[in-house]
Homo-oligomer: A and B are copies of this chain.
Amino acid sequence: MQKEERNPILGKQSIAPNDPVYLVESASVVGKKEGEGPLGNLFDLVGEDDMFGCKSWEEAESCLQREALTCAIQKAGWKKEDARFLFAGDLLGQEIATSFGLEQFDRPLFGLYGACSTCGLSLMLASLIIAGGFAEKAACVTSSHFASAEKEFRFPLGYGNQRPLSATWTVTGSGAFLLAREADCGKRPARAAITGMTPGKIVDFGLKDSMNMGACMAPAAASTIGQHLKDFGRRPVDYDKIITGDLGKVGQTVLLDLLEKDGIDISGRHMDCGIEIYDAEEQDTHAGGSGCGCSAVVLSAYILRMLEEGVWKRVLFAPTGALLSKTSFNEGKAVPGICHCLVLESLQQKKTCGSGTDSLQ
């Protein structure tokens, strides 16, 4: 059916759907520390403690997902049945935060794993399923929890181990996003349009330090962002912001250096969700925030708001993931990275974004 139409396949690894998909509504739920950070006032729900009334950290993380999706659905005035499919994932082994968090929504689930890039992965696949005509509406949910992640990847908190300055702090939070084919199906106008995407490759520079994941993921971010610009025939100046997920300060330096070597200067417009979410000095979070929840809650609370208000017209959202497990780490393997990126456009000016892909021509 689309064979005779404009080809949405772009360059080496990108996709530009013929019609945009709308980010109708979203919600963010975070822990106490995130609530005390610079974006604290912007989140929909801030927990009083990080257990969220549950018996274990894993259950607390499931609760975060449940609350985030419930909140997004309420804000949009949807029923849970309106989301035909769920696209979701988390950082825990076998994705138990998702399985136990989203069970009660009783919706078909596409389980995803892209480490801390999972928010981007979920938005990408949900957009494509909607753009392909296989669903009218769908929801995406991702989460992370500081305590469940430390237990899963590093040391039980009770050990009180020291953290090097390159370490990031896993965000306790979950972001939920409602996507649809039509812009006007929430209580307020859609927050933004998704107009293109570049799924990323596994990129491995051989780095082995699980306490410096920013540096491990930066090469993947450089690879996907560089390829995205080539595939779309764009320059960094075509984006108001190029936003990575959780590289932190160390990873940011590596990313800017790597891209500069390829003649791409994004220094004036790079932003990292992990750097934004905490006041690193005041909050002792070292290199910045990380986790699936980091980019998800910053997207929901801050990035979409800036697009909604028309402050930014078009951004590249590029969450990054570190593909390690405690088993691979203990067996001496490197920490490869992956980065998936999406083009998000403001709906403030019809001219720019009415058809979503006008600007791609």
A contact residues vs B (CB 8 Å cutoff): 1-3, 5, 7-9, 13, 15, 17-19, 55-56, 58-59, 84-85, 89, 91-96, 99-100, 102-103, 106-115, 121, 124-125, 128-129, 131-136, 152, 198-202, 204, 323-328, 331, 333, 336, 338
Report chain B residues within 8 Å CB of A114. Answer: 110-111
From A109, which residue of chain B is reached at the shortest CB distance?
B202
Is A327 a contact of B96 with CB atoms below 8 Å? yes
A sample of 25 inter-chain contacts (CB < 8 A) reads A1-B5, A7-B133, A8-B133, A13-B84, A15-B135, A56-B331, A58-B327, A58-B331, A85-B199, A94-B328, A96-B333, A99-B323, A100-B333, A103-B204, A108-B199, A109-B199, A109-B200, A109-B338, A110-B121, A111-B114, A112-B113, A128-B134, A131-B132, A131-B134, A152-B327
| A100–B337 CA distance with the chains assembled, in angstroms | 11
From A91, which residue of chain B is reached at the shortest CB distance?
B94
From A321, which residue of chain B is reached at the shortest CB distance?
B111
Shortest Cβ gap from A110 to chain B (Å): 6
Taking the full assembly, how many copies of this chain does it contain? 2
Report chain B residues within 8 Å CB of A328. Answer: 58, 94, 96, 99-100
* Partner of A92 from B128, B201, B325 at Cβ < 8 Å: B325
Is B103 a contact of A111 with CB atoms below 8 Å? no
Given contacts A9-B135, A328-B58, contact A110 B109 (CB under 8 A): no
Shortest Cβ gap from A166 to chain B (Å): 20
Q: Which 8 A-B pairs have the closest CB atoms?
A: A132-B132, A93-B93, A2-B133, A94-B325, A99-B323, A108-B199, A111-B113, A103-B202
Report chain B residues within 8 Å CB of A85. Answer: 13, 199
Is B323 a contact of A96 with CB atoms below 8 Å? yes
| A94–B93 CA distance with the chains assembled, in angstroms | 6
Shortest Cβ gap from A293 to chain B (Å): 16
Report chain B residues within 8 Å CB of A15. Answer: 134-135
| A324–B96 CA distance with the chains assembled, in angstroms | 7
Report chain B residues within 8 Å CB of A132. Answer: 2, 128-129, 131-134
Report chain B residues within 8 Å CB of A108. Answer: 13, 198-201
Shortest Cβ gap from A96 to chain B (Å): 4
From A325, which residue of chain B is reached at the shortest CB distance?
B94
Report chain B residues within 8 Å CB of A323. Answer: 94-96, 99
Shortest Cβ gap from A19 to chain B (Å): 7
From A93, which residue of chain B is reached at the shortest CB distance?
B93
| A71–B97 CA distance with the chains assembled, in angstroms | 35
User: In the complex, which of the residues A91, A129, A326 has the most CB atoms of chain B within 10 Å of its own CB atom?
Assistant: A129
From A95, which residue of chain B is reached at the shortest CB distance?
B113
| A19–B1 CA distance with the chains assembled, in angstroms | 8
Further 4 A-B residue pairs, CB within 8 A, beyond A93-B94, A108-B199: A15-B134, A93-B327, A113-B113, A128-B132
